[in-house]
A and B are shown apart, each in its own frame.
Chain A
Amino acid sequence: MPELPDTRQTLLAKVGDSSNPEAWREFTAIYRPAVYRLARRRGLQDADADDLAQQVLLVISRKIADWRPTSPQGAFRRWLATIARHAIINALTRGHNVVAEGGSGVLQQLQNQPDRDTSLADIEEEFRRGVFRQAAESIRPEFQESTWNAFWLTAVEGLPIEEAADTLGKSTGTVYASRSRIMRRLKDKVQELEARQSEQ
C-alpha cells in the first residue's frame, strides 16, 4: 500500500489562500459554471446543479495538489472532464434530484433515456464557454462602456451594425473599429487563459 503523501501542505501551497489565490479564483471562475451548466443541461435543478459543481471543485481542489506539471499536454483537462462527466452521470443515475417541486418529472424523463449522455464534446464545449466568459469578464474593465457595447450588441447579441450605431449614437465605422479592437483583445485573453489552464 502506498505511503500517504502529505498533500495538504502542497495543496495549500499551490492553490490555497497562502500563495496563489488568484490562480484558484480564475480556475473556479472557469470550471464551476461549466460543471453547473452541464448539470443543468442534463436536467438538474439549480440548487442540485450548484451542489454538484461545488463538489466537483472540492474534489479537484484536493487532487490538484498531486498534479505534476510534467504530465503530458492536455492531460489535466482530460482528467477534469472525466471527473465532471462521471460526477454528473452518477448524480443522475442515483436520483440526485431531491429538490422536488416540479423538477422530478423532467429528471425522470431524462433518466429514462440512458443513451442521452453527457458527452466529452459537451464538456469540452462548456469548458471553452467558461474560458470565453472569464476572458470577457476580465477584459471588460479595460474598455469604456460605449466601446464595449459596440462589441456586445453586434458580436454577441447579433444586432446589425447600423442598428447598433443608431442605438449608440455612433458612426458604423466607429462600431466596426471598437468591436474589432475588443475582439482582438478577447482572442488574446482566451489564448492566454487556455495556455495557463493546460499548463496546470
Chain B
Amino acid sequence: MSIHPATCDPAVLELYLEGQLSDAEQARLEAHVATCANCCTKLSNSAADDSWWQDASRFLPTDDWDGPPSRQYLDTVAPDANLDTTTDRRSLLKRLSPWLDPTDDPHMLGRFGGYEIAGVIGEGGMGIVLKGHEPALNRYVAIKLLAPHLASNGAARQRFSREAQAAAAVLHENVIAIHRVDQSQGLPFLVMPYIGGVSLQKRLDEEGALAIPAILRIARQIAAGLTAAHAQGLVHRDVKPANILLERGVDRVTLTDFGLARTVDDATLTHSGVIAGTPQYMSPEQARGDAMDGRSDLFSLGSVMYAMCTGRAPFRAETPFGILRRITDDAPRPIREINPEIPGWLESIVFRLLAKSMGDRYQSAAAVAELLEQCLAHNQQPTRVPLPEIPPFPQPIRAAAPPRGRSLGTTDLRYRALWIALTIAVPLIAGIALYDQFWPRTPLPLNTQATAPTAPTGTLASESFAEPDAGSEDTSLWHDGVAGTLDDIQATLRQIDTDLDPELAQETQE
C-alpha cells in the first residue's frame, strides 16, 4: 500500500494510531501532522472520544490517597535490591568513581580490588554492594564496601573489618560464604558469592503471605544459620526479609549481611542519632539501645515469620521512630486475625519469639531449629509424625482504645462468641478449605485463640469478611445478631452467599 500522508487520509491516521505503519511511514506522517492542524484534531478525536481523555486526566495523576511510591526500602545485599532509577545509579557511580580504577573491558564500569565491576547491586544503610567479575575464576561476586563517606570514620572502618572477619569464620550452608575481607585504597570491603536468587522481601512484596510448608522451611533454615553464627559468638543483628535470599523456590535459604550493616549503622546511630534503613525487624532491646545477644536475632526471626504468615511486618508506623516505639510497647496484631489459615501452634511459636522480654523467648536458635524441624515433619506427614508440644504463648493485649460506644465487660463474651462462630462459619459457607491438613484437629479455637478476643479492639478478620447482608447498612445490627447461635449465623451467611452468587450457593448445597 502506498501512503500519501499529505492527503490527510483518515485511513492512514487510523493505521498510525494502531501502530501499523513502518518506522519510515510513521516519521513521514508525524512530519505531516506537525504542519497540519486538521490532522491534529482528527487524530485526537479518533484516538478516543472525549470521555477517555477525561478519564485519563482524572485517573492517572497521583493524589493524596495514593500509597508511598515504593514500599520497599533499598536494601543492602540482596541481588534484586535494585536502585530505583538510572539517576540513583549514576549518582552512586559518580560518588564511587574516585575509588574505581580504569578498565580495558568496555562492558565494565571500572576495577575495584582486582575485580571488574559489572554494576551496582544496591545501596543501603551504610554500605554499597557492587556486582563484580573475578576474571581468574570466571565467576561473579558481590562486593560489599563501606560507604565512602564513612571511610574516614576510623571506628566504622575498624568495626566493619572486624565483623567481616568474624562473619567469614561462620561456615554453614545457610549462611553466606565470605571469600575475602580486604581493603582497597583505604576502603574496606568483603567479597561474597553472587547469588542469583530473590530476597524473601521481594517474594513477600510480590506474593504476600506464604504457604505453611514454605514458612516452616525458610524459618528452619534461618534458625540453623543463626545456630552456626551464635556458636561462633556472632550475633547477626539485622535479620530481615531483605537479608534472606531464596534459591530454587525455598529449598535453599541463605542468610546474608552477617553483623555488618547494623554494626556500621550502630556506629553512625551513636554519632548522629539517625537510623538508616528500616528498623521494622529490630528487637526491643536493640530499639532501646540495650545489650543484645543471640535471643535478639530470635526476636527478629519471629518478625520475619510473622511477615511470612501475614504478608507484612508486625510493627509498622509512618516513621522509623514510630516503628521503634511500637516494637518496644505494642503487641502485634494476632496473626490469625490477618490470616486464619495459620494454625494456632504456629502463631504460638511466632509470639513466643516476639516476647518483649528476652527471658520469655526460646533460649537458643538451636532449640528453634529443632522445633521447626519437627513441625515440618508433622506438616508433611500429619498422621505419622505427632506435632511437638507447643504450649500456647499468652497473647499480649494490645494497647488501644475500646470500640466506640461499648463497654468492655459486656462485649467480651459477645466478641468471643462472634469469633468462635465465625472461625467456623465463614470457612464453611464460603467454601474455604480451612479444615485442611494445616488446621488444628480440634474444631473449636485453641487456648491461644480463646485469649485473643479479650483484646476488645483486636480486629477480627473473619468478621470483616463475613459480608453482612448487602442490603443492611447498619453494621451494629450485624454485631448484635452475633450473640445468637451458631446456626443462626451460618444461616445468615448462607443467605449472603446466596444473594451474592446464586449458582455458587446451589453448587455447595449439593
Residues of chain A having any CB pair with chain B under 8 Å: 1-2, 4-8, 17, 25, 28, 33, 36-37, 40-41, 45-47, 49-52, 54-59, 62-63, 66-68, 70-71, 75, 78-79, 82-83, 86-87, 89-91, 93-96, 98-99, 101, 104, 111, 117, 128-129, 132-133, 136, 152, 155-158, 171-174, 176-181, 183-187
B433 near A8 with CB under 8 A, answer yes
A1 near B428 with CB under 8 A, answer yes
Chain B residue contacts of A187, Cβ below 8 A:
47-48, 52
A50 near B465 with CB under 8 A, answer no
Q: Which residue on B lies nearest to A103, using beta carbons?
A: B318
B18 near A173 with CB under 8 A, answer no
Q: Given the known A-B contacts A5-B431, A8-B433, A70-B503, are A132 and B56 also in contact in the complex, defined by CB atoms under 8 Å?
A: yes
Q: Given the known A-B contacts A17-B207, A50-B67, A181-B16, are A172 and B475 also in contact in the complex, defined by CB atoms under 8 Å?
A: no
Q: How far, in whole Å, are A91 and B464 apart by their CA atoms in the complex? A: 7
CB distance from A144 to the nearest CB of B (A): 12
B317 near A7 with CB under 8 A, answer no
B33 near A173 with CB under 8 A, answer yes
| 25 A-B contact pairs sorted by A residue (CB < 8 Å) | A2-B431, A2-B509, A4-B431, A46-B318, A47-B317, A50-B67, A50-B71, A50-B312, A55-B465, A59-B465, A62-B430, A68-B503, A71-B501, A90-B463, A90-B464, A91-B464, A93-B404, A95-B457, A99-B318, A156-B57, A171-B34, A173-B34, A176-B44, A183-B48, A183-B53
Residues of chain B having any CB pair with chain A under 8 Å: 16-19, 29-30, 32-36, 39-40, 43-44, 46-48, 52-53, 55-61, 64-68, 71, 206-209, 310-312, 316-318, 322, 333, 338-339, 341, 398, 400-404, 428, 430-433, 435-436, 457, 459-461, 463-468, 470, 473, 475-476, 500-501, 503-504, 507-510
Q: Which residue on A lies nearest to B53, using beta carbons?
A: A155
Given contacts A58-B208, A132-B59, A183-B48, 13 further A-B contacts (CB under 8 A): A4-B428, A5-B433, A6-B433, A7-B432, A36-B67, A50-B67, A55-B464, A68-B504, A75-B501, A86-B464, A171-B34, A180-B47, A183-B47
A155 near B461 with CB under 8 A, answer no
CB distance from A158 to the nearest CB of B (A): 6
CB distance from B425 to the nearest CB of A (A): 11
Chain B residue contacts of A37, Cβ below 8 A:
65-66
Q: How far, in whole Å, are A66 and B429 apart by their CA atoms in the complex? A: 11
A177 near B43 with CB under 8 A, answer yes
B476 near A156 with CB under 8 A, answer no
Q: What is the predominant secondary structure among interface residues of chain B facing chain A?
A: loop
A129 near B52 with CB under 8 A, answer no
Q: Given the known A-B contacts A5-B508, A181-B47, are A58 and B338 also in contact in the complex, defined by CB atoms under 8 Å?
A: yes
Partner of A101, one of B322, B400, B403: B322
Chain B residue contacts of A51, Cβ below 8 A:
312, 333, 338
Q: How far, in whole Å, are A49 and B64 apart by their CA atoms in the complex? A: 13
Q: How far, in whole Å, are A156 and B341 apart by their CA atoms in the complex? A: 42
Q: Given the known A-B contacts A4-B433, A98-B398, are A176 and B43 also in contact in the complex, defined by CB atoms under 8 Å?
A: yes
Chain A residue contacts of B29, Cβ below 8 A:
177
Q: How far, in whole Å, are A157 and B16 apart by their CA atoms in the complex? A: 24
Chain B residue contacts of A101, Cβ below 8 A:
317-318, 322
Chain A residue contacts of B339, Cβ below 8 A:
58
Partner of B33, one of A68, A136, A176: A176
Q: How far, in whole Å, are A136 and B322 apart by their CA atoms in the complex? A: 35
Q: Which of A8, A25, A49 has the most CB of B within 10 A?
A: A8
Q: Given the known A-B contacts A133-B60, A173-B35, A187-B48, are A181 and B17 also in contact in the complex, defined by CB atoms under 8 Å?
A: yes
